[in-house]
Structure 1
């Protein structure tokens, strides 16, 4: 069984000064994956990144709220994280195991930080990590365009750290034996 993990689709990233590449398409993709997960009875976990006190994303900041474009229905498990790796100092691993998940489908932001470190950690913890190829994004940096960052991480992570699957091809339904 697979669970869906949505990383950091929050106001400060979606509506911040550094516009994420293909953000509208990402939101549509993630919302579609949530529909698929619900139809299959798969658990949905939503991570909110919280920064240290005094930072723009400190606890209680409106920038840490889930972006309103994400179609939540109240059946998701929303949790806070303080590190790029969504497993670090959170109960995510225990919650995934408690719901019977053997795999985790990773989506969200930012590609080179939280998406990357969470995919690697999921595999290290024994989960079948699946990265949705068109289900993560970031903003341009001084060194590289966001489109290239996403392509680079898809190429780097796919294989040794996760399975890379386009959203349209992913199904939470397990094949019948």
Structure 2
């Protein structure tokens, strides 16, 4: 029986922006998440896997309007000048960004997804990746959000890891992920 072709992965970093990460509400286990993302960036580079950073753009006058200081990607991310960057205006990283076309042109068929916020852009992007035919791995300890009035951030993250795993993504710890 022939073996399945090897997956060609890329690391997709979602909304790790100054205004979200250093805003009035602190993300759950922020430093651990940032450290895990930087470890994944390092491993992706060692394997020559592309690194793609996506940034959410709010409307003019919003805290994350294009060009504002809070809109910028975190300086602590170990990104390099040639890493691909995309801006989006919707929770789904594929909506209106050309991401799917970019991935297909580069023959990338698997995404390792990390970043913020779990219940919005991480969730929407994980679901869309599967709908578009991409395999996805969610780094279960490299995405985060803030507490809400209804649920703690820990509960939101645990719920999404459990809900998305299997149906939409494979959940792995950052330490388990290989490119």
TM-score, length of structure 2 as denominator length: 0.94
- Over residues 117-158 of structure 1, what are the superposed CA-to-partner deviations in whole Å (9 max), with x where a residue is unaligned? 000000000000110111100000111100110000000000
Q: Aligned residue for 2:36?
A: 29
Shift of 1:71: 1.1
Give 1:108's match in structure 2, choosing from 107, 115, 119. 115
Match 1:65 to one of 72, 79, 90: 72
Q: Give SS of 1:132's match.
A: strand
Which of 72, 77, 88 does residue 81 from structure 1 map onto? 88
Alignment counterpart, residue 95 of structure 1, candidates 84, 102, 108: 102
Trace 1:19-58 onto structure 2 (pairs within 5 A). Answer: 19-58=26-65
The aligned residue for residue 153 of structure 2 is: 146
- The question of whether the paired residues in 2 share the 8 Å contact of 1:43 and 1:99 is answered with no
Q: Compute the displacement of 1:8 (Å).
A: 0.4
- Whole-Å separation in 2 of the counterparts to 1:44 and 1:95: 12
**Preserved contact between residue 4 and residue 43 of structure 1 (Cα < 8 Å):** yes
User: Does residue 176 of structure 2 align to residue 166 of structure 1?
Assistant: no
Of 151-160 and 68-77, more deviation after overlay is shown by 68-77
Cα offsets for 1:81-111 (capped at 9, x unmatched): 0000000000111111111111111000000
Matched positions, count: 172
Query: Which ranges in structure 2 are unaligned for 5 or more consecutive residues?
Result: 1-7
Query: What's the CA shift for 1:75?
Result: 2.6
Please give the alpha-carbon distance, in whole angstroms, between the structure 1 residues aligned to 2:102 and 2:165: 25
- CA drift of 1:54 comes to 1.8
- Offset, 1:79: 1.0
- Tell me the C-alpha RMSD between the 2 structures: 0.7
* Distance in structure 2 (CA, Å) of the matches to 1:74 and 1:32: 18
